C-alpha cells in the first residue's frame, strides 16, 4: 500500500466521523380517529328540544336533571341527558298531579327506525315542555324516575 492510499483512506474515515448525525426522523403520526382529546369543560350547546314519539321499543324511565316552571306555573321545562336519535328517543311523559306535589316521569326507548342504524355512545342534552292541568304554585315537583 502506498502512503498516498493510506493517507486518502485515513482522510475518508476522519471526515466520516466528523460529520453531524443524521437528522432525527419524525415519529409516525397516530391516525386522527385514535386520538382521544379530553373534554375539560361542558359543551356550550343548548339542549335539543324533543317531543314524545309514542312508538319506542324497550321503554324505560329516565331521570331529568333540571326543571323550570313558566307560563304562570302552567308549564314545566324539563332537561335531561340522553343518547342520539333514533337510537334513544323520548317515548312519553307521564304527569300525576295532587294537591301537594306534581310527579313527572320521562320514558325513553329506541325508535323502530333504528333497526339498521349503528348507535354511537354520545351524550346529548335534551329538553321537553310539559303542560300542567293546574299551576304548579307551591306544590313540590318530583322526578318519577327516582326510586
Percent of the chain with pLDDT over 70: 70
DSSP the chain: --HHHHHHHHHHHHHHHHSPPPPPPPPPPPPGGG------S---PPPEE----S--EEEEEE--SEEEEETTTTEEEEEEEE--TTTSEEEEEEEEE-SSEEEEEEEEEE-GGGGG-PPP---EEEEEEEE-SS--TTPEEEETT--
Higher pLDDT, residue 55 or 8 = 55
Mean pLDDT of 43-61: 91
The pLDDT score that the predictor gives to residue 62 is 98
Query: Residue 116's pLDDT band (boundaries 50, 70, 90)?
Result: confident
The average pLDDT across 12-36 equals 48
Q: Which residue has the higher pLDDT, 130 or 10?
A: 130
Q: List the chain domain ranges.
A: 47-147
Q: State yes or no: pLDDT of 60 exceeds 60.
A: yes
Percent of the chain with pLDDT over 90: 63
Q: Average pLDDT for residues 110-123, to the nearest whole number?
A: 90
Average pLDDT over residues 41-56: 85
pLDDT at 33: 43
Amino acid at each position: 500500500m502506498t502512503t498516498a492510499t493510506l493517507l486518502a483512506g485515513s482522510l475518508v474515515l476522519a471526515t466520516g466521523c466528523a460529520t453531524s448525525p443524521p437528522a432525527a426522523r419524525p415519529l409516525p403520526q397516530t391516525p386522527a380517529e385514535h386520538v382521544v382529546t379530553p373534554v375539560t369543560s361542558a359543551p356550550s350547546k343548548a339542549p335539543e328540544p324533543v317531543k314524545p314519539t309514542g312508538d319506542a321499543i324497550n321503554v324505560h324511565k329516565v331521570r331529568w336533571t333540571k326543571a323550570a316552571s313558566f307560563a304562570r306555573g302552567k308549564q314545566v321545562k324539563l332537561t335531561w341527558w340522553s343518547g342520539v336519535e333514533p337510537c334513544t328517543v323520548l317515548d312519553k311523559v307521564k304527569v300525576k298531579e295532587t294537591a301537594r306535589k306534581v310527579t313527572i316521569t320521562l320514558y325513553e326507548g329506541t325508535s323502530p327506525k333504528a333497526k339498521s342504524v349503528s348507535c354511537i355512545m354520545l351524550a346529548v342534552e335534551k329538553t321537553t315542555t310539559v303542560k300542567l292541568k293546574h299551576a304548579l304554585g307551591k306544590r313540590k315537583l318530583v322526578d318519577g324516575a327516582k326510586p
